[in-house]
């Protein structure tokens, strides 16, 4: 798999039309999608919590180890 580097922060996200994602960002987002990274809960962990897999929701959630 080819690694696609994150575009430089000077690279605009949108094309001049204001509606189309630029090619560099589109390739980068496609690359990130291809990694199939696991999903995490939007709940922030508290002190001492670690990611625990929830088989029902299919995401990692904060919990005690």
Contacts of 10 (CB under 8 A, 6+ apart): none
The reported pLDDT for the residue numbered 49 is 95
pTM score, whole prediction: 0.60
Q: Which two tokens stand for residue 28?
A: 């980068």
How high is the pLDDT of residue 30?
93
Record the tokens describing residue 55, joined without a space.
């088989």
Q: What are phi and psi of 51, to 5 degrees?
A: -65, 130
The pLDDT score that the predictor gives to residue 26 is 96
Tens-digit pLDDT string for the chain (65 aa): 689 999 999 999 999 999 999 999 999 999 998 998 889 999 999 999 999 999 999 999 999 98
pLDDT score recorded for residue 36:
84
């Amino acid at each position: 798999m080819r690694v696609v580097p994150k575009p430089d922060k000077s690279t605009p996200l949108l094309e001049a039309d204001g509606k189309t994602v630029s090619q560099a960002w589109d390739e980068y987002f496609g690359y990130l999608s291809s990694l199939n990274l696991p999903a995490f809960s939007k709940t922030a962990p508290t002190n001492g919590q670690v990611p625990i897999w929830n088989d029902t929701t299919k995401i990692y959630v904060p919990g005690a180890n």
